[in-house]
Structure 1
Amino acid sequence: MHILFLTDNFTPEVNAPASRSFEHCREWVKAGHRVTVITGVPNFPRGQVFPGYRNRLWQTEVIDNIRVVRVWTFICANEGFLCRTLDYFSFMVTALLAAFFVRRIDVVVGTSPQFFTVCAAWLVSVLRRAPFVFELRDLWPQSIRVVGAMQDGVLLKALSRIELFLYHRAALIVAVTHSFKRILTARGVDPGKIAVVTNGVDLQRFQPASKDPLLEAELGLTNRFVAGYIGTHGLAHGLDTVLDAARQLRDLGESDVRILMLGDGAEKADLQRRAKAEDLRNILFVDTVPKDQVSRYWSLLDCSLIHLRRDPLFRSVIPSKLFEAMATGIPVVLGVEGEVADIVRRYEVGVTVPPEDAQALVEAVLALRDDPACRATMAENGAQAARRFSRPALALSMLQAIEGVVQHDCLQQTKTS
């Protein structure tokens, strides 16, 4: 089987969509299938092309036996609705064109949250007469309304109609949460064609480890209790609450607690300006690091902070960083409600607090600091539970669903021929 996979982000980028897409495609190749990925030049999140690449119309490479076709896109930093839209739209056009030069495909997979990527995948499936698989990672365009990037109006309603159109046209929808499946079913989408394949973790890369003493000393974190946020600093994450917590910790005189913020995103510069203006010396910002270095930073954490803004939509999401924290044996302080909170409580891998509640966040961090035995239990629980979310197993689950769609398509073609 030849799988054509369209994604706006791919390795060596290190955000969640890039990691999931790469790790799934790698497992599909190991299972004996051909995989061609159409993507852009790596540049996320700063809008700067990675060393060794150029933003050209067409270039190819092979990564772990995956054929990767990189196409030109309008590149800009991950900030500003107009710039991001131009970026996504340009990828839709160039990916569609590039797909005509990929021979003998059996199925087309398009992954969200970049809405235009899925539009391109559907168009390719129609023109190449191959089944279309919609990997649903985010409920777009609802999510851009939640973060204030777009107000309710004619355009948002039009995008919602296109979204529903794509759900109905997909031969298979692979949702990353059970909540997504329930929401789509309530909107009239056939539940029989929705498979749930949650996010997961590569257990070879993320494992419990002692603190890296050199990095710890370099960052001034020796003999500190470190609460860390690792991931995108975006509009949806409500990270002002983390800065509110840092201010409260400072005012309480909790001088041994440090907050490490690793990553980039649209809100990072504003967060840094605010931290400087308020003299929050207990918070440390670190830029995105290469994929093979991320585990060193995870090792520094005594607890992991996961947070999203308070909105009913976010009750349906499961941030992938939860599974990385579990695999590395780091207790979680979770400021998200809904399905992800159920996971944290079910496996007893952390503490849940209300979103956008800085005081509750502070109390949870201090409670974990003062209870090493509790942290040790949560760490052990996390490492064990992470095995249920092994990326290779999840990748094969998605592959089985795709194989079923291709086999059904072949039978239909046989009947009509």
Structure 2
Amino acid sequence: MHILFLTDNFPPEVNAPASRTFEHCREWVKAGHKVTVVTCAPNFPKGRVFEGYRNSLWQTEEVEGMRVIRVWSYITANEGFVKRILDYQSFMVTATLASPFVRGVDIVIGTSPQFFTACAAYVVSRLKRVPYVFELRDLWPESIRAVGAMKDSAALDWLEKLELFLYRKAAAVVSVTSAFRDNLISRGIDGSKIHVVTNGVDVARFNPREKDAELVHSLGLEGKFVAGYIGTHGMAHALDTLLDAAAKLRARPDGDRYRIILLGDGARKVELMQRAQSMGLDNVLFVDSVSKEQVVRYWSLLDVSIIHLRKTELFTTVIPSKLFECMGMGIPVLHGVAGESAAIVEKEQAGIVFEPENADALCEGLVSLAGDPALYERYRGNALSGAQNYDRSVLAKKMLGILESITGKH
């Protein structure tokens, strides 16, 4: 089987869509299938092309058995709604134009979070007369409303009609959460073609290790209890809550014991850094995004991982992929996301769930884990054992079975 996968994020980018796509495709190649990925020049999240690449019409490379075709797109930082839409739409056009040059395709996959890539996948599938699969990572454009990036309008209504059209035309929808599946069924999409393949972790790469001594020294973390957030600093993440918790920790008699690291980039990073400085938070460290190869070194620094999203109904349906990475590393989690992902934390007993945007609850959970070694070790062991239930190679085989079933019927 020849799988054509369209995605606007791919390594060396290190965000969740890039990692999931790469790790799934790698497993499909190992299973004996041919995989071609059409993507753009790596630039997320700063909107700057990574060293060694260029934003040209066409460039190809071989990555662990996959053929990767990179096409031109309008590049912008992960901030500003209109510019990001232009980014998404430009890739939709160039990916569509590039795909006819990929021969002998049996199935086309388009991945979200935004669905313009799925638009391209649908068009390409019609041109090639093969099935297409919508990989659903986010309920977009509903998430636009949730973070207040765009007011209700005729444009949003039109986008939702297009979204439903793409679901209906897909041979299958592969959702990363059960809540997304329920949402689609409630909106009239045939449930028999919606499959759930959650995010997971590459357990060969994310596994327990000693704290990186060089980083501990360079960041001044000797003897500190370190909590950290690793990921995008965007509107959806409400990271002001972490700064408020840091202020409360700093006011404690043992406040110097604690450090909070925020690693990554995004639309709100500069604003967060300015606020931390104005609050005098010398217990908060901001670190820029690092490469896929380096990120595990920074995970190793954490005694506790903080996962957080805004307090809104939509985000009860999402499962942040970083949850599985910290479980694989054996790092207990402080989980400030309600809903399906909180249920996983509670089921696996991998950490403490707290109310989103509640700095007091975050501070209380952090102090509790730091002050109770037995509790900490219990959560740590549970996280490690729970990670085995989300092994990316197993999940990739599950999705491959869906693809094989579709091409067999076709």
TM bucket (normalised to shorter chain) is over 0.9
| 2:273 counterpart of 1:272 | yes
For the residues of structure 2 that align with 1:354 and 1:261, how far apart are their CA atoms? 20
SS at match of 1:255: helix
What is the CA deviation profile of residues 241-298 of structure 1, one whole-angstrom value per residue up to 9, with x for unaligned ones? 1111111111224111000111111111110111111111110000011111111111
Deviation at 1:227, TM superposition (A): 0.5
Deviation at 1:402, TM superposition (A): 0.7
Alignment of 1:86-165 (within 5 A): 86-165=86-165
For the residues of structure 2 that align with 1:91 and 1:46, how far apart are their CA atoms? 17
For the residues of structure 2 that align with 1:367 and 1:378, how far apart are their CA atoms? 12
For the residues of structure 2 that align with 1:375 and 1:124, how far apart are their CA atoms? 50
What is the CA deviation profile of residues 79-115 of structure 1, one whole-angstrom value per residue up to 9, with x for unaligned ones? 1001101110100000000001110110000000122
| 2:326 counterpart of 1:325 | yes
For the residues of structure 2 that align with 1:124 and 1:255, how far apart are their CA atoms? 57
Match of 1:371 in 2: 372
Match of 1:350 in 2: 351
For the residues of structure 1 that align with 2:42 and 2:316, how far apart are their CA atoms? 30
Deviation at 1:212, TM superposition (A): 1.3
8 A contact 1:10–1:18 mirrored in 2: yes
For the residues of structure 2 that align with 1:210 and 1:240, how far apart are their CA atoms? 30
For the residues of structure 2 that align with 1:298 and 1:227, how far apart are their CA atoms? 10
Q: Which amino acid aligns with 2:281?
A: L
8 A contact 1:8–1:114 mirrored in 2: no
Q: Which amino acid aligns with 1:302?
A: D
Match of 1:177 in 2: 177
Match of 1:241 in 2: 241
For the residues of structure 1 that align with 2:75 and 2:153, how far apart are their CA atoms? 27
For the residues of structure 2 that align with 1:26 and 1:299, how far apart are their CA atoms? 25
For the residues of structure 2 that align with 1:76 and 1:189, how far apart are their CA atoms? 34
For the residues of structure 2 that align with 1:214 and 1:102, how far apart are their CA atoms? 46
For the residues of structure 2 that align with 1:402 and 1:269, how far apart are their CA atoms? 42
8 A contact 2:114–2:141 mirrored in 1: no
Identity %, equivalent residues: 59
Match of 1:299 in 2: 300
What is the CA deviation profile of residues 174-209 of structure 1, one whole-angstrom value per residue up to 9, with x for unaligned ones? 000011111111111111001100000000110011
| 2:64 counterpart of 1:50 | no
SS at match of 1:292: coil
Aligned residues: 409
SS at match of 1:87: helix
Gaps of 5+ in 1: 410-417
For the residues of structure 1 that align with 2:316 and 2:332, how far apart are their CA atoms? 21
For the residues of structure 2 that align with 1:32 and 1:158, how far apart are their CA atoms? 41
What is the CA deviation profile of residues 324-363 of structure 1, one whole-angstrom value per residue up to 9, with x for unaligned ones? 1101010000000000010000110000000000000000
Match of 2:166 in 1: 166
Mean CA deviation greater in 13-22 or 208-217:
208-217
Match of 2:409 in 1: 408
For the residues of structure 2 that align with 1:374 and 1:248, how far apart are their CA atoms? 22
Q: Which amino acid aligns with 1:238?
A: A
Match of 1:415 in 2: none
Alignment of 1:148-227 (within 5 A): 148-227=148-227
What is the CA deviation profile of residues 194-238 of structure 1, one whole-angstrom value per residue up to 9, with x for unaligned ones? 110000000011001111112101100110000110111111111
Match of 1:73 in 2: 73
Q: Which amino acid aligns with 1:178?
A: S
Q: Which amino acid aligns with 1:262?
A: L
8 A contact 2:203–2:328 mirrored in 1: yes
| 2:407 counterpart of 1:398 | no
CA RMSD of aligned residues (A): 0.7
TM-score (norm. length: structure 2) = 0.99
SS at match of 1:166: helix
Q: Which amino acid aligns with 2:247?
A: R
| 2:263 counterpart of 1:262 | yes
SS at match of 2:261: strand
Deviation at 1:48, TM superposition (A): 0.6
Match of 1:414 in 2: none
Match of 1:388 in 2: 389
What is the CA deviation profile of residues 15-73 of structure 1, one whole-angstrom value per residue up to 9, with x for unaligned ones? 00000000000000100000000000000000111011010000110100100000000
SS at match of 1:27: helix
8 A contact 1:302–1:330 mirrored in 2: yes
Q: Report runs of 4+ in structure 1 exceeding 4 Å deviation.
A: none
8 A contact 2:338–2:355 mirrored in 1: yes
Deviation at 1:387, TM superposition (A): 0.6
For the residues of structure 2 that align with 1:114 and 1:30, how far apart are their CA atoms? 29
Match of 2:30 in 1: 30
